[in-house]
């Protein structure tokens, strides 16, 4: 049974972030006027009393829970405890609040990091519990996976309508380019553009380049989340991806080409590759709510590179 989002009060946690901004933009395009984006300064979701105040003040009927403590391999290695506690606590507070306040629907964004390290490719949702996640981001992945269990348990005992979506690695305009916390695509874009601007003859990249990844354009992911909110209401988790696997080595070559960087690439084999392969089976999303990604990796990278260059030019103009 379809749910009309326009008629309901919607809260988007993390609504000013990378994915959240895209979700909010698309909800507004659909005519959702009762849309609320709580700021971290006003509503620290780790604080149970702040979450209770959020429910009292906004009186949401639908929540998209996108707020998260995230980062690349380096950030996950530095702060696994913070990533575990923060992500688990935020989700637990919100899901319990949803139960207590009779929420109409809860949309939880999970992570591909929850999958076992050696999951057969393409990753099928049924394989989620067949092993331990890749060690460098296991704390984050397990915290997110625990929220799937909580939603399924609350559906069974309390009748809470909660769904769980697992996007593959996201990219696109508005991404995080901070070298201390960024993921692979924005980190590589920044590295290549800066090297080009500074006339460097060489850039260094972590790992061997042999690992593979799949990437989903941020606007496509936002569209998938909204389609699921409207048309999906089952306890089983659902993958969101683009069906385009690429090795990190080939990804680097593509970003080098698209940025116009002409120097050499060296590989730091002392640094980890992370999970050996990532590529999702997205048939459930297609069959259950008609989601198919629309943006190719090349087209999305062109947009992301243009976005980063615009940010750099803007910062330079104010210096």
Instruction: Collapse the DSSP code of 312 into the 3-class scheme (helix H, G, I; strand E, B; otherwise coil) and give the result.
Output: helix
DSSP 7-65: GS-EEEETTTSHHHHHHHHHHHHTT--SEE---TTT--TTSHHHHHHHHHHH--SEEEE
- Is 140 one of the annotated active-site residues of the chain? yes
Of these residues, 115, 132, 140, 217, which one is catalytic?
A: 140
What does the alpha-carbon distance between residue 132 and residue 135 come to, in Å, rounded to a whole number? 8
DSSP state of 280: B
The dihedral through the CA atoms of 189, 293, 64, 166 has a sign that is negative
Encoding tokens for residue 120?
A: 């057969």
Q: List the beta bridge partners of residue 11.
A: 36, 63
What does the alpha-carbon distance between residue 293 and residue 291 come to, in Å, rounded to a whole number? 7
Q: What is the CA radius of gyration of the chain?
A: 20
CA 26 to chain centre: 16
List Cβ neighbours of 167 (8 Å cut-off, separation of 6 or more). 19, 109, 110, 111, 112, 216, 221, 224, 240, 241
The dihedral through the CA atoms of 87, 88, 93, 96 has a sign that is positive
Give the side-chain half-sphere CA count within 13 A for 91: 28
Other beta carbons within 10 angstroms of residue 317's beta carbon come to 7
Q: Which residues have a catalytic role annotated?
A: 140
């Amino acid at each position: 049974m379809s749910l009309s989002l326009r008629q309901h009060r919607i809260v988007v946690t993390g609504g000013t972030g990378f994915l959240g901004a895209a979700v909010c933009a698309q909800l507004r395009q659909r005519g959702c006027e009762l849309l609320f984006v709580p700021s971290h300064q006003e509503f620290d979701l780790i604080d149970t009393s702040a979450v209770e105040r959020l429910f009292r003040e906004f009186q949401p009927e639908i929540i998209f829970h996108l707020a998260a403590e995230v980062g690349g391999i380096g950030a996950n290695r530095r702060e696994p405890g913070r990533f575990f506690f923060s992500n688990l606590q935020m989700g637990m507070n919100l899901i319990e609040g949803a139960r207590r306040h009779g929420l109409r629907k809860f949309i939880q964004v999970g992570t591909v990091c929850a999958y076992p390290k050696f999951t057969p490719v393409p990753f099928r949702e049924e394989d989620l519990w067949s092993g331990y996640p890749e060690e460098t981001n296991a704390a984050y992945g397990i915290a997110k996976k625990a929220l799937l269990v909580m939603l399924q348990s609350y559906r069974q005992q309390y009748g809470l309508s909660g769904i769980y979506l697992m996007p593959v690695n996201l990219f696109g305009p508005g991404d995080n380019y901070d070298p201390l916390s960024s993921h692979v695509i924005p980190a590589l874009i920044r590295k290549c553009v800066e090297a080009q601007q500074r006339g460097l003859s060489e850039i260094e990249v972590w790992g061997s380049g042999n690992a593979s990844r799949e990437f989903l354009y941020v606007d496509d992911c936002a569209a998938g989340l909204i389609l699921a909110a409207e048309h999906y209401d089952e306890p089983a988790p659902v993958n969101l991806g683009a069906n385009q696997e690429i090795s990190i080595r080939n990804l680097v070559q593509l970003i080098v080409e698209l940025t116009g960087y002409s120097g050499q690439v060296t590989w730091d084999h002392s640094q980890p590759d992370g999970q050996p392969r990532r590529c999702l089976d997205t048939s459930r999303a297609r069959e259950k709510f008609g989601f198919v990604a629309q943006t190719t990796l090349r087209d999305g990278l062109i947009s992301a590179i243009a976005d980063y260059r615009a940010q750099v030019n803007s910062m330079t103009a104010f210096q």
